[in-house]
Amino acid sequence: MSSKDWIEKDYYAALGVDKSASSDEIKKAYRKLARESHPDHNPGDTGAEERFKTVSEAYAVLGDEKKRREYDEMRSLFGSGAFRRNARGGGQPGGMPFDVSDLFGGGAGGGDNRFSGGGFTDLFSSIFSGGGGAGGPARPRGPARGRDVETEVALDFTDAVRGVTLPLTLRAPGVCDTCHGNGAKPGTQPVACPVCHGAGVTTRNQGSFSFSEPCRNCQGVGTIVEEKCPECHGTGGVTKTRTLHVRFPAGVSDGQRIRLAGRGEPGERGGPAGDLFVQVKVRPDELFGRTGDDLTLTVPITYAEAVLGTDLRVPTLDGTVTLRVPPGTPSGRVLRARGKGVVRKDGRAGDLLVTLDVVVPAKVSDEARAALQTFAAQTPPAAREHLDARVRRFS
């Protein structure tokens, strides 16, 4: 006789006595029923045989003070499912709803995600760690953790530099609204697993050792769903569209993967949720480039500006900055505008690196050409002696 029988069977009803019946009344009721249904008095009557078995089973428990007490305790503790099913007078309707999360001190996160604190899994790891060996596979098994979810988001260049909060709409599995994730039909509750009595673990004796292992009947959850939620078919999850507001920190870069713990798929029947991974794509800007926390910008200047020097007013991401180009600045020189790059949350900031690019006009006016010829006549030749030696070798 299993404890499942205890929860499912109403032995008081089987003997036709009240829950408060004295042991004498129980004995009397049993004797009467046993006599009536005894196979010897009812040869060939299978119905009577069944009744006789039921009565005997009931008396084996209720006729024993200790067993009767245990039976009463279990029925009042795990009553919710049992009393609903064979409801008859005397049982507390609905009984006491039983919720494993009470055992595991969850509820910290509130809402549906009762195991988000990880307490449940922790408990299992501590029970099963260091086991192994003869006990067979004692792998930690709580309610299955939800899967991780991957998604991709394209950010504007400026948003990536400054940081931005974006709504992210995901069509992904979520907690079922009909049953709030417990998998039970509305109006019903998951009931304590009759095999492990809600503990999620069973103990097996082998010689002088005893081994704990996750309950096979409830997969270590501690509860079973008797009547499945019609919406999610007992899994506690459905596919739904949800919108998350995701904060991308200032300086997030192209290719970066952002992890949002617990925002992935919900676990089955209250298990911990998976994580959400957001792959960041940064759209290029038409002006600026980026190297780490530095922004880059290329500014064309004329030969005259490079020779004579000038003040350059260049754009930054949120304004302008004036840079001094000293006389005699070579092409390719990089000027630095401090603190005009990516500004991190902690105040650290990159720079704006401005590369000067001396441009050569494709066409010049006659006047410009004449002036340039005058200029050339006044200018020493470019320093090419180190090349000339090599050139002469081939001539």
Residues of this chain that interact with Zn ion (CB under 5 A) are 176, 178-179, 193, 195-196, 215, 217-218, 229, 231-232
Q: What is the largest CA-CA distance in the chain?
A: 138
Nearer to Zn ion, 155 or 224 (CB): 224
Contact 218, 224 (CB under 8 A): yes
> In the numeric block, which tokens belong to residue 201?
């673990």
Q: CB 178 → Zn ion: shortest distance, Å? A: 4
Nearer to Zn ion, 17 or 232 (CB): 232
Rounded to an integer, what distance in angstroms lies between the CA atom of residue 184 and that of residue 178?
9
Nearer to Zn ion, 82 or 176 (CB): 176
Q: CB 216 → Zn ion: shortest distance, Å? A: 7
Q: CB 229 → Zn ion: shortest distance, Å? A: 3
Q: CB 253 → Zn ion: shortest distance, Å? A: 40
Q: 331-335: long-range contacts (C-beta < 8 A, 24 or more apart)? A: 331/306, 331/356, 331/357, 331/358, 332/356, 332/357
Beta strand segments in 328-380, E: 334-337, 352-358
Nearer to Zn ion, 101 or 217 (CB): 217
Q: CB 159 → Zn ion: shortest distance, Å? A: 38
Nearest to 140 by CA among 148, 129, 149: 129
If residue 280 lies in a helix (H) or strand (E), which one and from where to where? Answer: strand 276-282
**CB atoms < 10 A from the CB of 341, how many?**
26
Q: CB 115 → Zn ion: shortest distance, Å? A: 17
Residue 264: C-alpha distances to residues 26, 148, 232 (Å): 56, 5, 18
Nearer to Zn ion, 234 or 251 (CB): 234
> In the numeric block, which tokens belong to residue 205?
């004796």
Nearer to Zn ion, 141 or 340 (CB): 141
